[in-house]
Structure 1
Amino acid sequence: MRIYKVILALLLAAALPATAAQAEGYRQGHCGEFTVAMIPDTQSYVDYRHQAWSGFPFDAIEQFYAQMWWVATNARSSGGDIVFATHVGDVWQHYSEWMDPAHAARGFKWMPNGGSETAMSPKVQTRAFEIPAAVQAFKLIADKLPFSVVAGNHDYDALWTDPAHPPRPERKVGVRHLGGLTGFQSAFSNTSSFFAGRSWYVDSRDGGPDSAQVFTAGQCHFLHIGLQYHAPDASLNWATAVIARYPGVPTIVTTHDYLGRDGKRNMTSNPLNSALDPLDNDPEKIWEKFLSAHDQIFLVLSGHVSGQSFSIDTNRAGNPVYQIMADYQERNRTAIDAGVDGPTGDGWLRLLKFRLDTAHPKIEVRTYSTHYGKFAAEIPEYGAWYKAREKQGHLSDEDFLRRDEFTIDLRDFHRRFGAPVGASVR
């Protein structure tokens, strides 16, 4: 009888579509309800100008610490249901060099940037305060749960304007480029105490700006891949090799710049590295070369653009890829309450609650402020506070709220990855 069951199982697996057969091993039983914490751009908290010692009314970094403490206390290891956290990049605000040595060696030229204070010149405070302060924030979750952090454009060492594309009346800041990740590597390298020796940290490239993690929920396991800003071909090739080691495992990808507020892939970013450097990929190329090519990638998370959006695209296998963007760096009610008008973030983060053990799997997306201790739907003034500032003033308060509190119907999930016992697959 036992041999018969083994033979029957092999025959059934052979009869399944390839993706389902590969994915069969991801689920050994029920997943249980669980949450993935999505931590949007934290640069406004870490900005050295937003601290009391710089003359600001309060220490904005405390809001970042409060966020990470909240994630830690609601982790599965602390009795909560958060099993994984992913930071979408732009951990800090300022640059520390005019140009990195690697791009200088390749023959790139630079001229000073115009535009915002952030881009006007390198800052010594980046390495003296902003990076160490960010490290302290991540120490709050370091032993609580698996996590990822990717390099956003503000996390690079250098930002410069290409002399061949200087500022003009129609483009006031010229065309910029980024380079150098020594600051990021000093905080989040693969050999840092955050990741060295962690069984869930399964791979990395470029010293840590690209990385891969596995996490479990109940009797199910998942793969997460983090890609640096405008990931070059080398990053995409590395990520492809990681996926090959975990065939069929449901995969989440986080990268900093991907969607705009309209839910389309963002092609207006400045700097847009791929406009100057053939080694780098814009969001559309990342979709074409990597995301759409691997059917086990079902969810893509990003930030970068102040506001939020959600969209669904169909991959090459004909299955949906769910894409979420959230960035709350420009929110400023805490600053206004303190008598100033600067962006301080207000403690908002995204919580993705997965319910996969039913016949109709779904993700419930909610937005929570650790400063106010409330979800977006619990604040009557939510739309009035934020929609105009995030360039969405044309929306009603209700429509604006629906961009932060909604449900994703994972109608294809059981068919692609396997269903729990007793759940029907349609």
Structure 2
Amino acid sequence: MCSPFHQPDGPLPTGASRRTFLRVTGLTGAAAAAAAGGLTTAASAAALPRQEAADNVANRSPDPDNPRFTLVVMPDTQYLFDGASINAAPVEASLRYILDHGRDENIAFLSHLGDLTEHGLKEEFGPLSKAFELLDRRRVGYSVLAGNHDINSSTDDQRGPTPYLDAFGPRRLRKLPTFGGATPDGYNTYHLFRAAGREWLVLALDWRPSPAGLAWAQGVIRKHPKTPVILTTHELVYADRDGDEAEFSDHGKHLWDELIAGNDQIFLTLNGHYWPAARTTRKNAAGHDVHLHITNYQNRYYGGSAMIRLYRFDLARNTIDVETVSPWILGRAGEGLNELERREIELTGPQDSFSVPLDFEQRFAGFAPITPRGPRPAAQMLVPGTVAYWRFDGSHPDGAPADPALRVPDLSGHGNHLTRGPVPGSAADALRWSADHHPDQPGHGSLYFDGGKPPLHGGYLQTAKDAPLNSKTFRTGYTVEAFLKLPADWDAGHHAWASVLSRRGTLGAAGKTAGDPEEPVATLSLSDGPGLQWAAAPLDQPGLVTNWSHELARGTWWHVAVVNDGRHTTLYVDGCRVARNPATHTNGLATLGLPWLLGAYEYGGVLDQLLHGWIGDIRITERALPVRDFMSS
């Protein structure tokens, strides 16, 4: 019986304390997908799936702009390719998982961590090489590297020809779209893939890179100075026992000192070789975290059953979620699993299923800082159908009070200019210029409205009585866009139900018989959540039809868009459609020909609440705009 802490290549030093991030997750839909792949049982050697089966699978090209993508990691498979004992089925199942889930997981790349085989023999590499043709045929990017069992472990990357190099050398990998290059000896390679809107580099290093190999790796990083790097190699860190924090091996410390610590682009390292699974974090020379992970399951049932790690990068949440599963066992769940197999479908221990918080923008700022988006000229925002466009940038000092005679021009050229409305008893600086703005806002400035009640106080803007916008009914559709931000002291008791933008005139006066006749005919308001409410009376309905957003965080800039295509109205926040969009048919907007208000809400035709917060650019078009044409795009 194998010891669960067995280490095949010599004794280990003592480990240190544990550091973990727990995560509980599930694998959905994999059983059916894997079963559909025709996977064999544990006791049998597998035949490869038919060529046409792979070719009939839907397009699995990863979405390069999705902020979420998956890196798949496959550790030591050596016990499955051990002399006369060849079991390709588990590896085939894991590779089939990549094909079957390439789209829904947005799988960008696979990295094998070495010790592909037990003895490095041609007869062992043959079946494994054949299995990887599944990925070759679909041109799915992957990297492999030599572990100590794949070559003569006493040699470095200058060892010359080997069956490993024949099976997985550059001659094969250069046919893949992700292959970047290799050392002249062929044992060190690098790979590039695009995901989450940027380029990523995987550096796959040999079991023992020579000084020339390390110099080459340094050169690769230097040639890609703004690219985040994931370093994969067979040996780097280890742990003595479950729960221990990972520590450097002697060779791992050499790699850290010679390559990793001095290259801030390397933010994650992955290695196999030792078990149990473990991880740690070390500060590099720039003072930034490098996450060092070991994953290896060859000591577990069925040689690890070709378990894979799913590193789910989520740049929207600044998190990497990690999950460890066996697609091969899961794919046979319908056949009735034995007791050991049931334990191995998914590993949920703290070193196998966890999340790593990582602020990607901050972590990469030292070598790839995000360049703030510059202002865009007003003319660029005048898309066809624009009927009003207001912005608040210019040469005004930050925090300066707005002039009582303030006039904000309508940059669309249609004459819908804004002027400041009177609020008796309010301070002169209740309306102030601000340099604050949404990062994707065309105009780099805003107006701060310091309003609320009781008593009613603040400032607002309004269109002129004869502005063309006042009488528009928008029968062919409309898009109303605004940038806004609520301050930290926004309070529902004092500030709820103020409007970002509203239209004067009551429902009753407009002949609308359903609902409260004192409500305005159209308003984009802030509820007590605070959440956004678009409540407007269409031409074809007897009262208001309301769209609701989720609650908005204070201290954050938001972009909101209300889009009507002549049939239905849809509310978007930051380009994302919200849930509470009614299916009610809505055409046009009711009007009494009265002015529009910015930062003010009327009830019964009288000012009732004034905005507390910032408003940036506002644009109104008389047609439905796609998300790609929003001002924030």
- TMscore range, shorter length: 0.5 to 0.7
Correspondent of 1:88 among 113, 137, 146: 113
1:411 aligns to 2:446 (yes or no): no
User: How far 1:31 sits from its partner (Å)?
Assistant: 4.3
Calculate the TM-score normalised by the size of structure 1: 0.63
Correspondent of 2:141 among 143, 146, 159: 146
CA offsets, 1:308-332, max 9 Å, x none?
0111010001100011110111212
SS in 1 for 2:328: coil
Q: Which residues in structure 2 correspond to 1:53-202 (within 5 Å)?
A: 60-76=87-103, 80-95=105-120, 126-127=121-122, 129-142=123-136, 143-156=138-151, 158=152, 179-192=159-172, 194-196=173-175, 198-202=176-180
SS in 2 for 1:295: coil
**In the alignment, which residue of structure 2 is the partner of 1:290?**
259
Q: Which amino acid aligns with 2:80?
A: Y
Unaligned 5+ residue runs, structure 1? Answer: 1-28, 52-59, 96-125, 160-175, 268-281, 335-343, 387-397
1:263 aligns to 2:241 (yes or no): no
Unaligned 5+ residue runs, structure 2? Answer: 1-63, 240-244, 332-336, 374-437, 440-555, 557-633
CA offsets, 1:349-375, max 9 Å, x none?
1000000124xx11001101112329x
How far apart in 1 are the matches of 2:260 and 2:349?
29
1 or 2, which has the higher helix percentage?
Answer: 1
Aligned length: 295
Name the Cα RMSD after superposition.
Answer: 3.0
How far apart in 1 are the matches of 2:129 and 2:149?
15
How far apart in 1 are the matches of 2:193 and 2:237?
25
Q: Which amino acid aligns with 1:403?
A: Q
1:34 aligns to 2:69 (yes or no): yes
CA offsets, 1:361-418, max 9 Å, x none?
11001101112329xxxx9x899968xxxxxxxxxxx9x8111000011136435245
CA offsets, 1:244-302, max 9 Å, x none?
111021111100011102401123xxxxxxxxxxxxxx211110010111111111010
How far apart in 2 are the matches of 1:321 and 1:206?
29
Q: Which amino acid aligns with 2:246?
A: G
How far apart in 2 are the matches of 1:199 and 1:372?
31
Comparing both chains, which one has the higher relative contact order based on Cα–Cα distances under 8 Å and sequence gaps of 6 or more? 1
CA offsets, 1:59-90, max 9 Å, x none?
x22111111121222224xx541111100001
How far apart in 2 are the matches of 1:291 and 1:137?
33
1:299 aligns to 2:256 (yes or no): no
User: How far 1:221 sits from its partner (Å)?
Assistant: 1.4
Calculate the TM-score normalised by the size of structure 2: 0.43
How far apart in 1 are the matches of 2:149 and 2:184?
17
How far apart in 2 are the matches of 1:206 and 1:326?
29
How far apart in 2 are the matches of 1:181 and 1:314?
38
Q: Is the 8 A contact 1:190 1:207 kept in 2?
A: no
Report which of the two structures shows the higher radius of gyration computed on alpha carbons: 2
1 or 2, which has the higher strand percentage?
Answer: 2
User: How far 1:200 sits from its partner (Å)?
Assistant: 2.2
CA offsets, 1:42-68, max 9 Å, x none?
1111113434xxxxxxxx221111111
How far apart in 1 are the matches of 2:194 and 2:297?
28
**In the alignment, which residue of structure 1 is the partner of 2:326?**
369
How far apart in 2 are the matches of 1:368 and 1:415?
29
User: How far 1:188 sits from its partner (Å)?
Assistant: 1.6
Correspondent of 1:317 among 277, 283, 286: 286
How far apart in 2 are the matches of 1:153 and 1:263?
20
Q: Which amino acid aligns with 2:142?
A: F
**In the alignment, which residue of structure 2 is the partner of 1:402?**
350
How far apart in 2 are the matches of 1:411 and 1:145?
28
Identity of counterpart residues, as a percentage?
A: 27
